[in-house]
A and B are shown apart, each in its own frame.
Chain A
Amino acid sequence: MKIILALAILWMSIAVELAWSGSMPQGALILPIACGIMFWMRSVTGILLSATALLIDWIARPGFLPLCPMLLPAIAACLISPSSKPDDYSSRRQSVAKMLTPLHLPFITLMAVSLQLIGQLNLSSMPAVVDIQSAVKTSLPSLLMISLPISAGISMLMRLADELGLRRASQRWI
C-alpha cells in the first residue's frame, strides 16, 4: 500500500511539473518529494523508487548527465543507513548529529538541487563562467524557493508522524 502511494505521489509530481513546465523550474517538485520519500520509507524500496522516478524524469527531460539518480541514493544511504553503534542512553544529552537529524532532508534537497543544476550544464567542454553565473542567479533561487519549503514541510510532517506513531518504527535503529 505504501509503495503504491509513493508511486502515485512520484508519478503525480512529474505530471505536475510537465503540466506547468513553463512556470515551474525542472525538479522543483520532484526533487524534494523524491528525497522525502527516501527519508520517510528509510528502506531499500524507498531509495529504489525515488531514484527510479528521478531517472524517469531525466529520460523524459534529458540534460547532460543524470547526476541526481546517480548520486542521491548514495548520499541518502549515508544519511539513513542504520548505525551499528548502540545509542548511549546513559547520558541524557543528545549528540549533535542526532540534533541535526531534522535538517538532513533539507540538506539532501539542497544537494539534489545543486546536482540538478550541474547536470543541466553542458559538461562536454569546460562550462563558461557566464553559463554558471546565469544558472546560479536565475535557476537556483527559483528552484530553492519551491523545493526548500516543500522539503521543510515534509520534514515537519515526518516529525509529526513520528510523534503520533504513524510512521513504521519496526526498524531497530529508529
Chain B
Amino acid sequence: MRVEQSRHRMWVAAVAMFVLSLLVSAADRTEMLSVVQSVLHDALSPGRLALMAIAPQSDDAGKPVDAAGPVKIDAAHGLHIQQLQTLRQLMIENARLRRDLKRSKDATVIAEFVDPAASLTEYAMIPAQVISSSGLPGPLRELIISAGKSAGVTRSELVVDGSGAILDVGTDASVAAGDRVLSGSSVIGRIEKTGRWVSMVQPVTSADFRAQVQLLRASDDGLHFGAVGMLEGTGTSECRLTGISYTDAVTVGDTVVSADINGVRGPRLFFGTVTSAEFLAGGQWDVRIQPGFTLSELDRVGIVRMSLRTDITAVSTAMDSRGPR
C-alpha cells in the first residue's frame, strides 16, 4: 500500500513538473519572464562572483605557500629563504599590478571620433560578460550581462561588442597614426533594466529598439555622410531604417553609424550595413539593415559610458571667474 502511494506521488510530481515547464515555456514566449530572469541572475550572482573572485587568486596563492614550507633550517639559510619569499611576493604583486593595468586599459579602450580636446564629454567602456541570451538563433530577444547597478550601469546606456577596435589595414593601405577610426565597436543594444549585479540588454533587433543613425558611404573620393534616420528593430534578425526623405540617396552596402549617443554627439558607433533599399510606390524608402554583431561571438560586451570632462569645466570656470581684461 505504501509502495503504491509512493509511486503514485512520484508520478504526480513528474506530471506537475511537466505542466509547470510547459507554462514557463509559454510565459517565456510571451516575454513575461524577463523580470524573473533578472531576479534569478541577481540571486545567483553572489555565488558566481565569489567563484570568479576565488579563481584567479588560487593561481597566485599557490606560490608563497611553497616558500613557507621548509621551517627547520639553519640561520644562514633563513635569511636566504626570507629574501626569496620577499622576491616571490614582489613578483606576485607585480603580476597583480600588471593585471590591474591591463583591466584599466581595457576599460577605457574606445575609438573617439571627435577631437577629445574639443569635446566636453568623454566616453569610457565598462567591460561585461554575457551571461545569457534569449532567442534562437536568428532574432536575439534579450541579453543578460554581468554588470549592474554596483558597476554604475544605468538604463538606456548603449552596449557594444567587447572585441575592441582592431584594424586589418596598416601603412600599406596609407593608414597613418592620427587617422580617425570610424568604426570598431558594433552596437548590440541598449541597457533595458539594471539589477544589482546584472543588467538586461535590449538588442537592436528588438521590436522596441529605436536609435538615431546616419548613413555613411565609401566612394573613390572618400567617405560621405548621408541621410539621418531612425533605426528600428523589427523583432527579426534585421532592422529597418525610417525617416529617410525621398530625395535622399540610399544604396545597398551603405554603412549605418550612430548619429549621436543619447542626444550628445560622440563616437560614431557601427550599427550595421544596408542589405536592401527599395523605393516604394508611396514615395517612401524601405531600407533593411543587417546588424553588425555576430551572435555566436557575443561573449564579452562593453557599456558605453558618457561623462563630463571635469578638468575642462574646471579650467573654463576658472577662466570665467577671471573675466575679460
Residues of A within 8 A of B (CB): 11-12, 14-16, 18-22, 43-44, 47-48, 51-52, 55-56, 58-66, 69-71, 73-74, 76-77, 80-84, 120, 122, 171-173
Contacts and interface: CB of A to CB of B under 8 A. Distances in A.
A84 B4 contact: yes
Interface string B198-224: 000000000000000000000000000
A20 B50 CA distance: 12
A22 B132 contact: no
Contact of A18 (B17, B21, B48, B133): B48
B11 A60 contact: no
Contacts of A44: 6, 9-10, 12-13
Contact of B136 (A20, A55, A80, A122): A122
Interface in B1-49: 2-4, 6-7, 9-18, 20-22, 24-25, 28, 33, 36-37, 40-41, 44, 46-49
A82 B9 CA distance: 11
Given A11-B47, A58-B24, A82 B7 contact: yes
Interface of B: 2-4, 6-7, 9-18, 20-22, 24-25, 28, 33, 36-37, 40-41, 44, 46-52, 55, 129, 131-134, 136-137, 299
Contact of A70 (B4, B18, B51): B18
Which has the most chain B C-beta neighbours within 10 Å: A21, A22, A43, A172?
A21
B234 to A, nearest CB: 17
A6 B25 CA distance: 25
13 contacts: A11-B47, A15-B50, A16-B47, A21-B131, A59-B33, A62-B37, A63-B136, A64-B136, A66-B21, A70-B22, A73-B13, A81-B10, A172-B2
A24 B10 CA distance: 32
A10 to B, nearest CB: 11
Contacts of B129: 21-22
Contacts of A52: 17
Contacts of B33: 59, 62
A62 B17 contact: no
Given A55-B20, A73-B18, A11 B44 contact: yes
A83 B2 CA distance: 11
B10 A77 contact: yes
Nearest to B47: A15
